[in-house]
Amino acid sequence: MFEKEKKQMIEAALKMKEYHLISLTGGNVSMRVAEDKYLVTPSGMYYETMKPEDIVLINGRCEVLEGKRKPSSDASALVYIFEHKKEVGAIVHTHQPYATAIGLNNDKLPACLVTIIDANHADVPVAPWTPSQDVGMGKLCVEYATDANAVIMKNHGVIAFGADLEEALFGVVYLEEAAKTYVLARIMGEVEELPPEEIAKERSGWVNYGQ
């Protein structure tokens, strides 16, 4: 079941690797595929050798409905996000270095670049420390996300979500590009924030982008 979606998830994970957002078996990809049914990448597997049948179908109680693998250790947090944000169709989780570095000594990545406004929609908040593999990670994401489609988890990494997998993937790739630029700028000095009305103007223009 859901062969096409499973292939898309593996492709997304490989893209996350290509953009240096994860290493080895880190991070995960998940998708809502039906009422109370979610696809999650398996725990601790290399994405390069992952096959569609390795992706696990679970329900809202994290019970495995299809697949022989153990689901991602973050499955309970991911399901919590899906259940509390009904507009979310896909979630990606990374350990991307620049955005994660910002989370270690800042409370947000301000929407000071068009890529952040367009791909993440707002300031990207930093949620406080919580142990990994715990539902608390999902709770903090829901609480902190506000208008943004991504949350930097302090001492950990990034969780981004979207209506579909492409939106979630754009969320982490552009976030990392922006985070790198922001870190470089901060090394040179202070960074001025954009006024909210300019952020709103840029955001409304984004609807015309693409095919």
Q: Shortest gap between Cβ of 188 and Zn ion (angstroms)? A: 31
Site string for Zn ion, 120-159 (x = CB under 5 A): -------------------------------------x--
For Zn ion, the closer of residues 43 and 106 by Cβ is 43
Q: By beta-carbon distance, which residue lies closest to Zn ion?
A: 157
Using CB under 5 A as the binding rule, the residues of this chain from 58 to 97 that contact Zn ion are none
Q: Write down the least CB distance from residue 127 to Zn ion, Å.
A: 13
Residue (131 or 195) nearer to Zn ion, CB: 131
3-state SS string over the chain? Answer: CCHHHHHHHHHHHHHHHHCCCCCCCCCEEEEEEECCEEEECECCCCHHHCCHHHCEEECCCCCEEECCCCECCCHHHHHHHHHHCCCCCEEEEECCHHHHHHHHHCCEECCCCHHHHHHHCCCEEEECCCCCCCHHHHHHHHHHCCCCCEEEECCCEEEEEECCHHHHHHHHHHHHHHHHHHHHHHHHCCCCCCCHHHHHHHHHHHHHCCC
Name residues contacting Zn ion, limited to 156-175 (CB under 5 A).
157
Q: Rounded to the nearest 5°, which phi and psi values hold at 54?
A: -80, -20
Give the shortest CB-53-to-Zn ion separation in angstroms. Answer: 24
Give the total of residues touching Zn ion (CB under 5 A). Answer: 1
- Closer residue to Zn ion, CB minimum distance, 102 or 199: 102
Shortest distance in whole angstroms from residue 157 CB to Zn ion: 5
What the block records as the tokens of 141 is: 């994401």
Beta carbon nearer to Zn ion, 28 or 149: 28
In whole angstroms, the minimum distance from the beta carbon of 93 to Zn ion comes to 6
Please identify, using beta-carbon distances, which residue of 110 and 157 lies nearer to Zn ion. 157
Q: Tell me which residue of 71, 49, 82, 52 sits closest to 159, measured CA to CA.
A: 82
**Closer to Zn ion at the Cβ: 23 or 146?**
23
- Footprint of Zn ion (CB under 5 A): 157
